[in-house]
Structure 1
């Protein structure tokens, strides 16, 4: 068609040429924008246009906005691309242009050079809208999936297929079909249709759909054919405003409105109620009072009119009576269910077709404490706006087995009702959202206006409200607490409070169990008649008093049963009082007794084979003891070998001697708890022998002095710094092979904040040499640090170094003995430097001091794991220039340096700003890294704080010449804690004449033996 609207004809060759020209034009347009898309390359685009026919060229991919399923869109897009024969570049272009909304933002976030990489584009969209490793989430969705309202079975099946595919992506198709079929049946949430599908044994989910549709069609048809009863009819509005169902009652003489419906009317449509003193007569002969009448606007279909309504408490929202039908000449066709009102025909609904039973669910997660009653809000599942009165009942479910739900008459028309629930268990109960807990069914309520009963709700008391012991248990508490400590007394009090109702308050408080009822089976026997018996005169008053007491206690009650039996007064031996017994012997003769079959004795004995309880309980039997040669033995059967062993019962005087012989002697070897217990158990027995063995081994000085070093026991103590040179760590490394320059050691210095590292080769490790090197090489270049942290090497504890720190006002700190972890920064730096030097040093290693400076340069120019910045950036405010920068250009950070025309003050200002920013970033990273290190370290740590005056063992790490460390004892003690310096540092002393030692917590362990009482705990003065 040309510009004038004329239609022309072209030959196939001309159409091909036209396509070819169009393809060229498109390619030219794309080439004209090549500066915007550097990687926009469409090879053989002209050939694509030639090979694509006119029909396939019109196929366009759908649009994707992120709300629909990504995999479904991708499959359809791949099919369109295959039809159009697009290559990867064309597919990337078409995919990017078909995205909308949120999905379009994903392409914007991709680097421009990679936007035309089809595979990368697909992977980016997949990770955004179909993330991997989400199988568990989709499995949970499958387990909680249920049919939504107004959702058809095919729609539900399609959704289940999608979730099943995502939940089990690698499962075979037949397995996925089986899982989808089970999920489909479970999601129906209707036992009738579930049973119908299950009985027909479906093979696939398609069979389930077909069977379910057939069942629903059949039941719907049955409702139409069986519902032939003519009852009240309801009509509804057809406007788009809020519709309201009203009842059309040809037997009602007037129109009636429920008071609650009147209250919710808008103010502009809510006239004042006028007085109306008459009563309304109900079909059953009863009467109800009226509140008055109002003139209200009414719209039925398109028919609008103002009519008079009586306000009365009825069972439906509103009733259209005969007065309305007569006044406006309405025609009601009962057969068709149509109301004709002027020119309007309104379709009516039979009352029997409106749902009258609805499920109630909980909208939010609900947690009910034990022994607690609550009132929460329940949501009506369905349209209950036409029902004014309904009764709620509990819905049996596995989710509400331990919860009681009270019956109540409620108004469900607003969509929410109060639900009263009680947790009668001793445990907390949780109800998940959307859990069906009850049902409500429409009912008719008849209330006598003259008599109104109001029951006051009793207060629900929790068992935790009472925190004091009752008066009748005070004496029991006092008598039971004589031999208990404070913690045990508290546990006893909690126990008495919890089970307060279990104890009798007085002689009359007998209590009665209601958990079970007993019946006496007499078969077909007739009641037994017993003649009255004469009571002695001396017992009559006592019997009468006892009968009255039992009546007052509620143990007995008056009865006229034909099974009455005679009483027999019996005198108690304890206090001579009279108690009443019943002569049930004739009744016992005709009672059908229960059967109690006994097992075979040989089966019972075989069942005891290998049981461990026999070795514990046999002391209660006389047969477990054995007397041989006037010596008392105990028979003990081994649990595994079933061998019978005679154990000598040991008196208290010989217990300690036996333990020393079986553990301390050289033949016993100071073995551990299990081996020592086995030795004692095979020969001897006394009550509590295992506890005595454990206590003996804890107090054994030899065993505790040899045991291996303990595992990490104290949590990490952090020390973070905030500015450069606030704290500097120092250490000596060596000895190394004597270098060509005569050096054998190296002084390593590191700043705690910037992680800047310095290393100075030294010919020796004398204190004067170390101090001179530190002053000339470090202090003269970087300034005086505020604090120096070293180990306890002699060079750093010397008089020279002490005077150096005093003159320069440097705070000197040190690690505890044999605790290199306290100076972890420089210790880890030493390992890194040694590792770098080892890779470049010559074979004889005598050039190590020449490689030291290069190793430090590499360390300072690399990013530190803690600060996430290089030491050069933090110390100098810039990255140093490396040889690679001479070849490939300077570091990007160099672009921030000023040009020749920039003023000096501007450069200083920018440098200060940059230094402030990077130091602030470093502080955050240091805090984050230290928290992570502490968290990982504290996983295996145990809190075991020591107090002043407490005896401890000290782990000895020093080695003695000519003494093998493998045979050396690892612990020495006992030491006394004389001062707690910090959470992890303690000052200890072995005896009054020995020196103090400052040690770390991890080198200590508790001492359980006897200790000389030479240390006096200082008294704390109170002000």
Structure 2
């Protein structure tokens, strides 16, 4: 089927031994057998025709091939339908299209009230073909021979003629559930039978000796079972020894003293009492389906395409019909490689094969490409477009492939197959695999992009946090209150005996605000000391806008959290072995930090906050010339103000460039989900969690 194409086919019916004599019209219902994007249109069809029309739409972006015995849809009986008549429509159009084409499934012929019924089907008696009315005679329909005996036995205790008629209808409707003869074994794909051994070892059964008089009968019976495929020879550890049981009709061998035989008889009695009720068969919705497939009913259905391999002739035809591989086939068949000018008009895929012309080879008229490896030389099949989806499905979706990731699936396919841009196709197939999306956890949790918060002046935004608990010091301090300015990167650290709200608010007001002024905004985490009533009242009294970080997201207060790690490293370098004097070093360590140039601003916190650098011990030990000129107070203030404005402008530019660089680096490692209104999403179900 071509990509993005609509095709009309005429399909054969697989009747599945179902009597459709009571059916007048059926509707085609689509069946989704695999993950291929195929849409089958619903339509009313005439079940008495040898073939029915089916409209199929291929929504894939590449051509696909519908293989033999591919299940497209099922026919369901229609009890009642109405023909819609538009009074404004053209009468001639209605007569030629709406009634004839619609009612008999787009086939030209007789109307549905006079169907062409095969002779071997018993149809209802037509009383009036003009009024489209059908009635069933109050007589017992003729049953097939394999159902007659069952019907007679079941009717022995039924005297009501209406009940007998209902029973006959049930048997006719569900005749596919009964074997016609001993060769009709039947099959069912609705339930897969599994035996859970729970890790137990196989149990050896003792041999059961066959009486000499029955040896010939046993050999003939086993040969018959082998020919019909009921049993097969086995050397497995789970094999079972032969034990034949004579049936009621006298066939088979039976040991009346066998315990297993007696147990089997008892189980069979319970089964006939509890399960074998013929009226229950009419409730099964699966036995009344008629399947529309791509071959006649004489062909056997194939449940899986995995083992039904392609012949070399089929592969040769697929490659020659492919638009990219067809020219390559001609080159190799004629042993004539085109030149560069001749190849310019072909597709990129064909030109790629032309570059690898020396590696191409034909085996049984099938194109392969040599693959040179350190371990030796191997061959890769050049896959045409119609088979690529099937190759990816067989190497990823089956149990033998186990739904591995992109790289492992690529390696598996590269061992045997090759086509142009196969890596992109494999990645798209794995990424859109419904099983992988449902049951495989993401390697990276989805994260949103980074949003930067920039400031342009000292004390525009101040962050606050508490470090601890730490080892008790001699002054009974256990915590550290950290306060930092976002613009100047000026940091303050105050040892605290506890982190209650009253103590934190007191240090903030008396130690920081009293020296530097009231900040416009105060940012903290959601600790109870910062969210307390007293802290809220302090911010309200001083008209400070209070903000807080997201729960369990310390990166939303990143400046303070990064400084906490730096401060802990500085303390760890100078604390004693008992770790009880860390509060004595904090003041000097903070002076060292504030005198160091901060990379994001390009200046030290001292320069941005104080307008100058402080004098440090190295400047006292080693003499330096005095560069400060003596000047009037007004001149000094004017120059200091101009100097600070220039420094602040440079700091703003550095902060903006640093924010852009951090966002670019952070966003390059995120995995963000892009959802829009109406998108189909998966909902997590914890039923598959471990334990």
TM tier, shorter chain? 0.3 to 0.5
Greater Rg by CA: 1
Q: TM-score, normalised by structure 1?
A: 0.27
Q: TM-score, normalised by structure 2?
A: 0.39
- Structure with more relative contact order (C-alpha pairs < 8 Å, separation 6 or more): 2
